[in-house]
Amino acid sequence: MPWDKFTTHPVTIEYLESDGSGLMSLKSFILPQTGTTANIWRQRRKFKVSPARLATSWLTLDFGQELKNPRTRNPEKRPYQRRRVRQMSQAATRMDFLSREELLRYRTLTQILSLTNDLPIAYPSSLGLIRGRKGTLSFDAFPYLFAFTQLVTYKNQVATTIFNLGDRTKSPRVVVVGNASASATASQTASRDTHQSQLVCRKTQLTGTLFPAGTEAAAQYYVDLIDKTTEDGKLQSRITFSAHANNLVGMLRQTRIARTDDELDIAGENLLDYLAIMRCEKIHDRLFQSSPIYYVKETDTTRATEEAAKHTLTRKFYDVLTQDVSNCEWAYKRRSFPPVKPLTWHQNQVYRCVVEFLQQHHRDHMLDRLPRPDELWYNATGRVIFHHIITRLLEGLARAVEELLMQKRECHRRKTDILLGVGSREPDVARLQEAAERLSDWAHHLSELRLGFSKILPHHFKWLERELRRSDSDLLNEENATLDAESSSSDDTVEDFSGALEAEERLDTGNPEYSPDFAKLAELSHDDWANGAVNYLRFVLRDISAHAELDRLEICKEPNWREYMSNIMRKGEFHLIEVIPEYDDHRMMSIRKLLMEELGFAGEEDPEHPDPLGEILEWINSENKSKNVTVGEYDFDSTYFSGGYHCESTMLCLQLLARERDNLSPASINSGIVLPDKEVTDLFQDDIVIMPSSRLCCPSCMHLVQYFYYHHRRRNQAIWGSVVHKDWVPCSLPPWIPRKAGEWMLAQASNSLKQRLEGIIAAIEASRPDDTATAL
């Protein structure tokens, strides 16, 4: 095999095996130094070691050190005194945290894994979602806390958890962990190459007392805190992450403790208007830019064209769902009706409320006739009317978000002129307030329709997709999808906004603002466009309609839990932990160095493969460029890390640190690593059971969840977390992650990289021309 030059260090695998009588014995085997990564998996199969057993055994991988499973015990019985003396001699010098080099290596592992997410290779997936039991309080509390997480998210990723769950003797305690940007100084930047990066965890108790009460409070509050716009057009505000979280807690609490209808109306309207002003950029991005635009040239391969079509089609959600089908002959053909019953009382109320709302804004004769309560309403005509309602709501939402964006930017422009002393016109607070109310109204009615008709929407979208494909519509024609990739999916006004707004979510996994939700949406729409369309509506409305989810979930099925759930917002204790890097640290080991030194590439020349590493890196660049021709070649010698800290892994590391803080060795305490304050770690003394995040969980964070389940928790209690996404994202571990957990993370990332390299090598070999065919 020419790829025998692709070598690894020796690997020792030890595992426990039962002899059939219940006794366990320790067995092991050593893999040779030379051999492909595929040999590791062949040898594992040869010795009949399952992946699960491999994951829970002692491992000695490429790091030259043992990764010990806390659940296992060495069967060799050593004298107590020898073990005690050895422990005492090592206690003073052991390091309980990963070194700077190990942290940089993990960054590099996740960086290269993110570069190889969508390559055409086959590799096994070791991720599995670990869920708790249904029918428990944590099962019902997870969606409730997930909705709160969406509301409290400001710009960056957020993870939340709740303690004292179900304990009626204590108040519920909710802890929010969120990322904050670093404020680098010259001295810090100069020393960042040699010093350990530090994380500051700033704790704030959220009392909910910052937001003022009164009419037009949301718009006036926002305008008062506008700061000068930057030279590149980025809007600035003095509403910090902690202020935003405090506002949300206060407004949600006011809606729970209101004594009269007037108090409830004021509190609810302030909440909706505030969310509209703060979230309008996100709503706009999700409405029109749900996935990236790929520009494909005529010379590109068929596979690249298909990939481009996949992503341009998902961006057409708005175009397809606002397509006027009332004049299409195929829309009235009586075929493929789903089994629809007459409208329920709730559906009838939602239907009439939405139609009345639409008629108030523009008289529409198609909506003059409402279905009777006993009528099988979803017939040929009813189906067209239902789609017309969806179209009207989406178009109204688009106009409302554009108007609010325009008013918001105008307020920023006027306030900036005043701050710079070049203008005197005050921002128009009244028009900003009106625009916010209009957006919240349209979003509310679209959300009500989505929830009230959740079972009929998938059938309706399947019908729409099928009929558009039958009619050869360009909207769902994959051959034509790439031809109009440069065209906008909305009007010129929307396109102008999209160039000026700060985009907070990206599909590029090398970008720190990467959003797995966008990638998941693209994946869903490619496999099942109708299912993707349903999730598109949920994704667009998620932030601004999450408060309605809180209201709905407070009335859960279990009567004994209703009072507890409603008391979370009313009487709960809320804390915010802002994770702030000491400086903007983007260092990592270069990918080339990692593959050469850590994965043991041989240096001898081979006639067929004089530079095996160069072939692999060149193939990665080539495949990524064929997938997206706008992407340049990646510099594998670069030491720039494009990722950041993830809130889920930070939160779990805080709990690990809380358990081990009192047992740290002197070497760890004096290592220069700045630990979070004890009042921060004390919040995490109890077990984390629920941990929703504002984004889908990446493989890095999921591996730490698995560590908790298999090692730390000993499989007694699972963590209810957000759904896992298959794409790797560049991830940095906190400097105070305990060593055992850090080594587990390193091992999992290294194993994933080995699997991918094995697939890459197989793909390179398969792409080579057959020698026999060439000779002929």
Residues 551-591 have pLDDT tens digits of 877 776 666 677 788 889 988 999 999 999 988 888 999 99
**What are the structure tokens assigned to 261, written together?**
């209808």
Residue 291: pLDDT over 90? no
Q: Which helix (H) or strand (E) holds 204?
A: strand 199-206
Alpha-carbon distance of 703 to 696, in angstroms, equals: 14
The answer to whether residues 477 and 619 belong to one domain is no
Residues 309 and 392 in one domain: yes
Residue 260 burial (10 A CB sphere; 0-12, 13-18, 19+): exposed
Query: CA geometry: angle at 574 spanning 170 and 217, to 5°?
Result: 130
What value does the mean pLDDT take over residues 467-477? 69
CB 394 within 8 A of CB 321: yes
109 near 749, Cβ under 8 Å?
yes
Please, are residues 675 and 201 in contact by the beta-carbon 8 Å criterion?
Answer: no
Q: How would you label 288-300 residue by residue, b for 16+ Cβ within 10 Å and e otherwise?
A: bbbbbbbebeeeb
Which of 492-514 are b and which e, b meaning 16 or more Cβ less than 10 Å from the residue's Cβ?
Answer: eebeebbeebeeebbbbbbbbeb
3-state SS, residue 11: strand
What is each CA distance from 286 to 278, 279, 514, in whole angstroms? 14, 11, 14
Q: Residue 369: its pLDDT value, please?
A: 82
Q: Is residue 465 part of a domain?
A: yes
Q: To which residue do tokens 């693209």 refer?
A: 522
Walk across the sheet containing 24-31 and list its strands: 24-31, 11-18, 58-60, 66-67
Residue 573: the pLDDT is 94
Taking the C-alpha atoms of residue 409 and residue 71, their distance in angstroms, rounded to an integer, is: 57
pLDDT attached to residue 435: 96
Q: Which sign, positive or negative, has the C-alpha torsion 597, 600, 606, 610?
A: negative
Residue whose C-alpha is closest to residue 172's, from 551, 713, 712, 689: 689
- Per-residue CA distances from 20 to 24, 25, 26, 33 (Å): 9, 11, 14, 33
β-pairing, 690-691 vs 720-721, is parallel
Identity of the residue numbered 544: I
**Mapping DSSP to helix (H, G, I), strand (E, B) and coil, where does residue 300 land?**
coil
* 503 close to 513: Cβ distance less than 8 angstroms: yes
Same domain, 348 and 432: yes
Per-residue pLDDT, 187: 41
pLDDT of residue 497: 37
Helix (H, G, I), strand (E, B) or coil at 208: coil
Let me know whether 534 and 595 are in one domain: no
354, 356, 361, 362: CA torsion to nearest 10: 110
Tokens coding 681: 């770690």
C-beta neighbour count of 457 within 10 angstroms: 19
pLDDT band at 177 (very low <50, low <70, confident <90, very high): very high
The whole-angstrom separation of Cα 96 and Cα 172 is 32
pLDDT score at 209? 82
Domain that holds residue 611: 591-638
In a domain, 446, yes or no: yes
- Tens of pLDDT, residue by residue over 60-112, are 333 333 444 444 444 444 444 444 444 444 544 567 889 999 999 999 999 99
pLDDT at residue 125 tops 90 = no
State how far the Cα of 521 lies from the Cα of 289, in Å rounded to an integer: 12
Give one DSSP letter per residue of 71-121, joined into a string. T----S---HHHHHHHHHHHHTT---B--HHHHHHHHHHHHHHHHTTTSS-
Residue 580 within a domain = no
Whether residues 504 and 402 share a domain: the answer is yes
Closest C-alpha to 467, from 387, 370, 376 = 387
Phi, psi of 699 (to 5 degrees): -60, -35
Q: How confident is the model at residue 651 (pLDDT cuts 50, 70, 90)?
A: very high
Mean pLDDT, residues 436-453: 94
State the pLDDT confidence band at 506, using cuts at 50, 70 and 90.
very low
Q: How far apart are CA 602 and CA 35, in angstroms?
A: 10
- pLDDT the model gives residue 42: 39
pLDDT beyond 90 at 399: yes
Greatest Cα pair distance in the chain? 91
pLDDT tens-digit readout, 355-396 = 999 999 888 888 888 887 778 888 888 889 999 999 999 999
Domain identity same for 358 and 477: yes
The pLDDT of residue 477 is above 60? no
- The torsion defined by the Cα of 230, 235, 241 and 245, in degrees rounded to 10, comes to 160
CB 296 within 8 A of CB 629: yes
Task: Name the domain boundary from 39, 71, 91.
Answer: 91
CA dist., res. 191 & res. 583, Å (int) = 10
162 burial class (0-12, 13-18, 19+ CB within 10 angstroms)?
buried
Residues 318 and 418 in one domain: yes
- In a domain, residue 771? The reply is no
Q: Does 292 fall in a domain?
A: yes
State the Cα–Cα distance between residues 625 and 623, nearest whole angstrom: 5
CA 374 to chain centroid: 44
Give the pLDDT band (50/70/90) at residue 119.
confident
Mean pLDDT of the chain: 76
Cα dist from 173 to 139, 207, 557, 565, 576, whole Å: 17, 12, 22, 12, 11
Give just the sign of the alpha carbon dihedral 223, 228, 231, 234.
Answer: negative
Residue 216, in any domain of the structure: no
Domain assignment present for residue 219? The answer is no
At 172 the pLDDT is 92
Please determine, for residue 639, whether its predicted confidence score (pLDDT) is greater than 60.
yes
Given 91, 126, 150, the domain boundary residue is 91
Which of 103-107, 195-199, 316-320, 683-687 shows the lowest per-residue confidence on average (mean pLDDT)?
195-199
**Collapsed DSSP state (helix, strand, coil) of residue 690:** strand
Last residue of a domain, one of 44, 65, 91: 91
DSSP code at position 693: B
Domain count for the chain, please give it: 3
Check pLDDT > 90 for residue 676: yes
Q: Could you give the residue ranges of the DSSP H alpha helices within 490-609?
A: 492-500, 516-527, 529-541, 546-553, 559-571, 591-593
- The rounded distance, in Å, linking the Cα atoms of 351 and 386 is 9
Do residues 455 and 598 both lie within one domain? no
Among 54-58, 114-118, 312-316, 597-601, the minimum mean pLDDT is found in 54-58
Query: Does residue 524 carry a pLDDT above 90?
Result: no
Q: Are 722 and 191 spatial neighbours (Cβ–Cβ below 8 Å)? A: no
How far is residue 543's CA from residue 150's CA, in Å, rounded to a whole number?
Answer: 6
Q: Does 630 lie in the same domain as 515? A: no
The answer to whether 223 and 411 are in contact (CB under 8 A) is yes
Mean pLDDT of all residues in 205-212: 84
User: Given this model, what pLDDT does residue 776 score?
Assistant: 37
The length of the chain is 776
**Predicted structure pTM score:** 0.78
Q: Are residues 301 and 365 in the same domain?
A: yes
- Which residues, 6 or more positions from 589, have their beta carbon under 8 angstroms from its beta carbon? 101, 104, 105, 107, 108, 639
* Spatial contact of 622 and 558, defined as CB atoms under 8 Å apart: no
In a shared domain, residues 82 and 17: yes
Give the pLDDT confidence score for residue 261 in this predicted structure: 87
Among the ranges given (51-60, 101-110, 516-525), the one the predictor scored with the smallest mean pLDDT? 51-60
Grade residue 24 by pLDDT with cuts at 50, 70 and 90.
very low
Residue 513 lies in a domain: yes
Q: Decide if 110 contacts 700 (C-beta within 8 A).
A: yes
Q: Which residues pair with 712 in a beta bridge?
A: none
- Confidence band for 293, pLDDT divided at 50, 70 and 90: very low
* d(C-alpha 157, C-alpha 179), whole Å: 6
- CA distance linking residue 589 with residue 107, whole number of Å: 8
Whether the pLDDT of residue 442 is over 60: the answer is yes
Do 532 and 627 reside in the same domain of the chain?
no
